[in-house]
Structure 1
C-alpha cells in the first residue's frame, strides 16, 4: 500500500532523512519547510530514483503561513493523508534567567501551538487509521536528565508530549492514532547548537529508519503514548 505522508521540517536533519526514506520505500510524500532552496535541492536529488514515490513540497513558515492554503496544496497533490510526522521544531539554548518572554513565546508557538491550526486544517484529509507522530525530545520526557540552557526547549517538548496524549483521546472515535517519539541525541544541526562538539551515537538517516518504521506500523501497538528513543545522555 502506498502511504500518503505529510512531513513538517522536511528540508534538513531528521526531516530530510525521513523524506528520503519514505520516498525510497515507494510512498508519496508532501514536505514543507521554510527553505525553498533546500527543498528544491532534495527534489532534484530524488528525481533520478525511478522506484521512489511522488515527492511534493512547498515553502512554508509555521509562524506566518496560511494553513488553509497549505491544506489545499496537500489535498491537490496527495488527495488524502494516511501518515503525518510533525518534525519541525525550534531550539533555544539560553539560560532561564536570560530568556526573554518573546523568545520563549516563539519557541512554544513553533514547537506546540502551531499544531492546533496545522492539524485542524489537515484533519479533514485524514482517513480512518491515520497515524500522527509528533517528534519530541528526551529533554521533554519526565524524569530524564535536564541540561542548563534548555529549560524553554525542554518545557515546550514536555507540553507537546501532553498534547499528544490529549489529541489521541479526542481523535479515538475517528480512528486517528497519535503518538510521540522522545528522541535522544541524533547528529543534526540542532544537536550541534544544543551541545557544541558532542558526537551523537546515531546519524539522521539511522534514526529516520526507526521513525519511518514506527510511523508506518506503530499505531498497531500504541496510541497516546510518549516513547523514549535514546541510547545516550544526552
Structure 2
C-alpha cells in the first residue's frame, strides 16, 4: 500500500480526495482542524486534528508517519487553505499573518517534516489559485490570500530544483473556481462549473502521474474567470 498525506480534509476537495485514495487502497493521513464523519467509514483513513498555523502541532504528523506509514511518504497534497476577504486597508496584521501561516508557512513546515520520509518517486502537489499566477486577473479583497498563493508557487519551483537529484518532485496546481465553501467566501453567490469531486478526480490522477512529465511546474486548472 502506498502512503499519502492530504491537508484540508474536513470538507470540499480535501474530503473527496481522501475518499478517492482510500478506495484505491492507499493509506491516507487526513489532516484538518476538524474531523469529517464521512471519512470514519474507511479503515485506511487516519484523521488527525492539526492546526497548520501552529508548527508545534506537527509532531503529531511525524508520529503517524512512523507508526502507521512505515517511515515512508509517497505523496503529499498541500490542499489546506485560509482566506480573508477584506479590503487591504482594513485587514489586520494578525489576519494577514494567519493567512500566510496556513497557506505558506504551514506548507513549508509540513514539507520539511516529510523530507526524511520521501523516497525517489515521491511527489508533492501544492494546491494554489489562479489568483497567485503572475499576470492573472486579480480581485479586490484577496490581497492576503492571492499573494500567499503566489508565494507557494515560487517555493515549489525552488524545492523542485533543490531536490531534483533526490528524484522528489514538486508541482503546483493553480485552481480556478470550484464549488466549495471557500469559493463562496471569496465570491458570494458565484456558481462554479466544477464540483469538489470533479476537481478531486483530476488532482488524484495528477498526483499519481503528473511527476512522470512535470517537476517544478505550475499548471493552471481553470475554465472560468474567476
Q: TM-score, normalised by structure 2?
A: 0.95
Which residue number in structure 2 is paired with residue 59 of structure 1?
Answer: 49
Checking the alignment, whether the CA contact within 8 Å between 1:165 and 1:224 is kept in structure 2 is: yes
Residue segments in structure 1 that go unaligned for 5+ positions in a row = 48-53
Counterparts of 2:125 and 2:147, CA distance in 1: 19
Give the CA deviation at 1:33.
0.4
Which residue number in structure 2 is paired with residue 70 of structure 1?
Answer: 61
Which residue number in structure 1 is paired with residue 42 of structure 2?
Answer: 46
Which residue number in structure 2 is paired with residue 204 of structure 1?
Answer: 196
Q: Could you give the per-residue CA deviations for residues 11-40 of structure 1, whole angstroms, max 9, x where no partner exists?
A: 21110011011111222211110003x2xx
Counterparts of 1:88 and 1:113, CA distance in 2: 12
Q: Could you give the per-residue CA deviations for residues 31-76 of structure 1, whole angstroms, max 9, x where no partner exists?
A: 110003x2xx1233435xxxxxx21121111122422232121221
Counterparts of 2:59 and 2:24, CA distance in 1: 29
Counterparts of 1:230 and 1:87, CA distance in 2: 16
Which residue number in structure 2 is paired with residue 119 of structure 1?
Answer: 111
Counterparts of 1:224 and 1:84, CA distance in 2: 15
Any residues of structure 2 matched to 1:73-152 within 5 Å, and which? 73-79=64-70, 80-152=72-144
Checking the alignment, whether the CA contact within 8 Å between 1:10 and 1:88 is kept in structure 2 is: yes
Counterparts of 2:40 and 2:111, CA distance in 1: 29
Q: Could you give the per-residue CA deviations for residues 143-170 of structure 1, whole angstroms, max 9, x where no partner exists?
A: 1111111111110000111011011111
Counterparts of 2:137 and 2:155, CA distance in 1: 21
Corresponding residue SS for 1:233:
coil
Corresponding residue SS for 1:130:
strand
Checking the alignment, whether the CA contact within 8 Å between 2:50 and 2:58 is kept in structure 1 is: no
Q: Does 1:226 align with 2:222?
A: no
Checking the alignment, whether the CA contact within 8 Å between 1:134 and 1:180 is kept in structure 2 is: yes
Q: TM-score, normalised by structure 1?
A: 0.92
Q: Does 1:34 align with 2:33?
A: yes
Counterparts of 2:197 and 2:125, CA distance in 1: 17
Q: Could you give the per-residue CA deviations for residues 199-221 of structure 1, whole angstroms, max 9, x where no partner exists?
A: 00000000000000000000000
Q: Does 1:195 align with 2:187?
A: yes
Corresponding residue SS for 2:89:
helix
Give the CA deviation at 1:123.
1.1
Q: How many residues align?
A: 224
Q: Could you give the per-residue CA deviations for residues 165-204 of structure 1, whole angstroms, max 9, x where no partner exists?
A: 0111111111100000000000110001111111000000
Counterparts of 1:159 and 1:191, CA distance in 2: 20
Which residue number in structure 2 is paired with residue 179 of structure 1?
Answer: 171
